[in-house]
Chain A
């Protein structure tokens, strides 16, 4: 069974968000990494890029498929996880420890549209 962590918010497109102050840390869920299989490449934006809630900010490529990364929030990219450039498989090892980007949130109310752990676990069960 895939792991879901309490205290994080989740998008229906299987990204997780951790919000601390006005910074959102974004990654993909354990369910998503499991569904994708071995990840070989993570296409990330650059620091300073703007991301928009509901739109793609990059892509994860696995041996099975390439999948867009959809941003759960809008704002400016303040940091990207450069370790993923050389070791994208880290997401397979631990999808929650290996975040992808950090965003300075421009509209905190967008977080209200996201799912909590219980609702997300239910969503995964039904997929």
Chain B
């Protein structure tokens, strides 16, 4: 079943059933009692399959999945670290998972305590006064953070501040979030090493600037050494500093965004705090703020009274309102809290240095075959500009696809846009030396293949269920249903 590639509709045979309901109990009589306008005229197009067909089908599909649990996943800027199973165990405890969001505070003190403690833990880790855990994901956190920024200026009556400065190397979500928050995006140029050009920033800082969005380390994995000066310039101009937590991992327990001068930040729990990404999600994007912005945070919030009891607090006069139903994705918070407690203060401090060491180890081991545009120590990730030897015509895309043949997930490719053949690698701290060595060996092997047999590499992957989909047509005319597929054929 290695090359299983069927659609469940292709298994369908008329009349085949998984099970049948007793006749008469749930018959067609029930349908007769519904008004005609609620009944469909044609039967729905559903596959007719046995239970075994269904089980085999989905088990075989699941075997095609690639995840951190199956192999190395060096996807830059995504922090694909291992998701410890104890997180799942804790989040599944019925004492928490069976709670109802409308249940009284008195009967949910434990859950509220956990929620409150996580707010406090993140505040300590970030060096900020308070956190809201309400936002559902990273991009939602960005939007919430920018709404705080906007609210801050509105409450001061400074309504002409509508511009947000975003570096040209930023993650695409930054300008997108600023637009959604009703702010205008102004781009600031980066220097060849990817850090912000302070001289280019200065003339942009006028009384229409609401703030600046930054990641530190930046998109090339380099620490912004001029952050203190940048913070002073932006604050002197009346703006706020927003920290995109996408690259928080190497800073963990070492440097705090609040200490660097940031006023607002979001954290991706699914990156830094080991909760699952994407399909394994959902996500969570807590937002932290400095002391002068705490009252602006969205409602509801969890607070602790003098007697040590926990309460859900509604909207105050200055709060920007609600950004979520109830308190956000509680299950994800439990996993992040389990992660923080199982590492403890001492071991959290090792996360950043180990992630940084792993990234530098790969970078230095591969720079003989891959072009390293920026020399020097990186943080948790780094960028190659493709193979050093460009004469073979083997591109970053070809290398990425060839890695699939060797059982590795591809790195992030063609981002950032600062280089033509970007290949962004982030190993995270959870990989062993042996795994890193295996990856390095394969990367060298691919570089050798590119020199000796470039056409083979250009045709890779050779062992995956599909190798070269027509990406243009797939993007322009996606086939999203079986009905659509049949119509195309």
Contact = CB atoms under 8 A, between A and B. Distances in A.
A89 B472 contact: yes
Most A C-beta atoms less than 10 A away, residue of B414, B420, B472: B472
Interface in B412-444: 414-415, 417, 420
B98 interface: no
A3 interface: no
B471 interface: yes
B475 interface: yes
B471 A65 contact: no
Contacts of B40: none
State the majority secondary structure of interface residues on A: loop
A89 B477 CA distance: 13
Given A64-B414, A65-B414, A127 B420 contact: yes
Interface string A29-54: 00000010111110000000000000
Contacts of B471: 38, 63
Contacts, number: 18
A98 to B, nearest CB: 15
Contact of B472 (A35, A40, A65, A127): A40
Contacts of A37: 414
Contacts of A39: 472
A60 to B, nearest CB: 13
Given A64-B414, A65-B414, A35 B475 contact: no
Interface in B388-433: 414-415, 417, 420
A35 B476 contact: no
Contacts of A64: 414
B420 A38 contact: no
Contacts of B475: 40, 63
Contacts of B476: 40-41
Interface of A: 35, 37-41, 63-65, 89, 127
16 contacts: A35-B420, A37-B414, A38-B471, A39-B472, A40-B472, A40-B475, A40-B476, A41-B476, A63-B471, A63-B472, A64-B414, A65-B414, A65-B415, A65-B417, A89-B472, A127-B420
